[in-house]
Amino acid sequence: MGRSPCCEKAHTNKGAWTKEEDQRLINYIRAHGEGCWRSLPKAAGLLRCGKSCRLRWINYLRPDLKRGNFTEEEDEIIIKLHSLLGNKWSLIAGRLPGRTDNEIKNYWNTHIKRKLISRGIDPQTHRPLNSTAALPAKPCLDFRPSTPENTASMNEPITNNIISTPATDNSSSVDNTKCSSSTTEESQPPPPPPPQKEVEEGNAAAHALDLELSIGLPSHQCKYTKSASFNSVSSSSTESKSFYDFLMRPAAVAEAETPSTAAAVVAQAMCLCWQLGFQKGQSCSNCQAVNGLYRYC
């Protein structure tokens, strides 16, 4: 049985929105609030698909949108979050008040990719370009469930989780693009994405995800539990907790902070020696000192 279309396509407009349509949508949402996108078009007198209305509102009409150019600080935050989260645009957008996932996604594809390439960094793997050729993209947070194997691996020196040392180390059979440490199942050739499904299948309780960054998610305040079910903070590390706080801080709270505050938290919580193109053996003291938290080194 196929999926029914989200709306009656025969009688819906497509393409660019007119000012009148925008105004109708704005007026309706102002009067009735968001919700029930399926019935909204009819109620608002719009010949549009509900999905289309939702997208238009979220990406363009919402009053709290920032619009305008991204700042350098926002750039850096996006880069850093992308290195951790991969193409989880909605998660990244959640950390940038006033920015939408679509906006960030477009900005990434048109600006930041080029910027990173000009720095000699692979935009997908966040590793130096000359060491990442032909390696598949991989998000950098590990959403695998906690298992004894994982837990054990977390206590080992980190060499290949998330961003590993640039590939001078070919002798290791470990796939450096993997964000997770090697386990029995992951010692096999990496299946194409997404790992999330596997994770969820192996985690019926959906509560034991371990991000290996010791990031946890208080379910009461994060709307993104569906996309990334973070576990509770399991580390006493101040740094990881700071970054956890930053990631999981509601956008409304984050908005109250200055971008530099947010950036500082990221800078504090993440070791970026990898991003600077350090070669093996040149990693900073943080990488060596914080066992199990930074997977970049």
Partner DNA sequence: AATGCGCACAACCGCCTAAGT
Partner DNA sequence: CACTTAGGCGGTTGTGCGCAT
Give me the residues that bind DNA (CB under 7 A), please: 1, 3-4, 6, 13-17, 35-38, 49-52, 54-56, 59-60, 87-91, 101-103, 105-107, 109-111, 196-197, 200, 206, 223-224, 226-227
266 touches 77 (CB < 8 A) = yes
Type of residue found at 129: L
Min dist CB 201 to DNA, Å, is 9
CB of 282 to DNA, least distance (A): 31
DSSP sequence for 166-179: -SS--SS-S-TT-S
Residue length of the chain: 297
Nearer Cβ to DNA (6/253): 6
Paired tokens of 102: 């679509």
Query: Rounded to the nearest whole angstrom, what is the least distance from the CB of residue 149 to DNA in the complex?
Result: 23
Q: Is 11 exposed, middle or buried (0-12, 13-18, 19+ CB in 10 A)?
A: exposed
CB of residue 199 vs DNA: minimum separation in angstroms?
A: 9
Give the shortest CB-111-to-DNA separation in angstroms: 6
Question: Residue 62 corresponds to which amino acid?
Answer: R
Q: Nearer to DNA by C-beta: 142 or 239?
A: 142
Please name every residue paired with 145 in a beta bridge, in sequence order, or none if there are none.
Answer: 209
Let me know the angle formed at the C-alpha of 246 by 135 and 150, rounded to the nearest 5 degrees. Answer: 50
Residue 103: what are its φ and ψ, rounded to 5°? -65, -45
C-beta of 60 vs 174, nearer to DNA: 60
> Token pair 């109708």 is at which residue?
24
Cβ-based nearer residue to DNA, 89 or 296: 89
Report in angstroms how near the CB of residue 286 gets to DNA at its nearest.
28
Q: How far apart are CA 29 and CA 62, in angstroms?
A: 10
Nearer to DNA, 102 or 147 (CB): 102
Cβ closer to DNA: 98 or 277?
A: 98
For residue 34, the minimal CB distance to DNA (Å) is 7
User: 216: which strand partners?
Assistant: 231
**In this structure, are residues 209 and 230 in contact, taking their beta carbons and an 8 Å threshold?**
yes
Residue among 105 and 280 whose Cβ is closer to DNA = 105
